[in-house]
């Protein structure tokens, strides 16, 4: 009975993880569209358009406009590499908007999303580890 409850909890946790990763993928696509709008000149602002951006913004906008959709694709497909690419992009945006605000300005929605989502990801992985430890070992018959 204990094993059945554990496997049911593991199944529910996997469903939660799947929904979570796919929601993150959708948000990453929105973030990527924002960068693409900035690169193509469709976003409001003085530095809208790749030719009018400062060099540091060119590097960031060009990189994240490619990396974010790639991470979203990996997360939607539930691939492990998608999580790795997303964590890299999230750390990059946390550094850009958290530590380098003098150069890039503050972007609280991106910063808050990545910090909260990374904490939720850590909680899901922690719960998965706890469930795997609770499983009783099968004895050979």
pTM attached to this predicted model: 0.86
Is residue 139 a part of any domain in this protein? Answer: no
Is residue 80 a part of any domain in this protein? Answer: yes
Is residue 13 a part of any domain in this protein? Answer: yes
Is residue 104 a part of any domain in this protein? Answer: yes
Residues 135, 141: Cα–Cα separation, whole Å: 18
Residues 67, 56: Cα–Cα separation, whole Å: 17
Is residue 86 a part of any domain in this protein? Answer: yes
User: What are the tokens at 114?
Assistant: 């990545």
Is residue 130 a part of any domain in this protein? Answer: yes
**Residue 61: closest CA among 25, 37, 85, 86:** 37
Residues 35, 110: Cα–Cα separation, whole Å: 12
Domain count of the fold of the chain = 1
Is residue 120 a part of any domain in this protein? Answer: yes
Q: How confident is the model at residue 71 (pLDDT cuts 50, 70, 90)?
A: very high
Residues 53, 68: Cα–Cα separation, whole Å: 20
Q: What is the mean pLDDT of residues 130-138?
A: 70
Q: Name residues whose C-beta falls within 8 Å of residue 113's C-beta, 6 or more positions apart in sequence.
A: 27
Number of Cβ within 10 Å of residue 91's Cβ equals 13
pLDDT for 16: 95
Q: Note down the domain range covering 106.
A: 2-134
Mean of the per-residue pLDDT values for the chain? Answer: 90
Q: Specify the higher pLDDT residue, 110 or 8.
A: 110
Is residue 141 a part of any domain in this protein? Answer: no
């Amino acid at each position: 009975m204990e094993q059945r409850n554990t496997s049911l909890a593991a199944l529910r946790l996997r469903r939660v993880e799947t929904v979570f990763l796919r929601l993150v993928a959708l948000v990453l696509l929105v973030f990527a569209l924002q960068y693409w709008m900035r690169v193509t000149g469709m976003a409001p602002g003085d530095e809208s358009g790749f030719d009018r951006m400062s060099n540091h913004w060119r590097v960031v906008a060009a990189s994240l406009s490619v990396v974010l959709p790639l991470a979203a694709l990996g997360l939607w497909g539930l691939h492990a590499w998608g999580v790795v690419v997303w964590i890299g992009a999230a750390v990059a945006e946390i550094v850009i908007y958290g530590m380098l605000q003098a150069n890039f300005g503050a972007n609280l929605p991106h910063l808050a999303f990545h910090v909260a989502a990374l904490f939720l990801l850590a909680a899901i992985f922690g719960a998965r580890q706890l469930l795997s430890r609770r499983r009783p070992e099968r004895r050979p018959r």
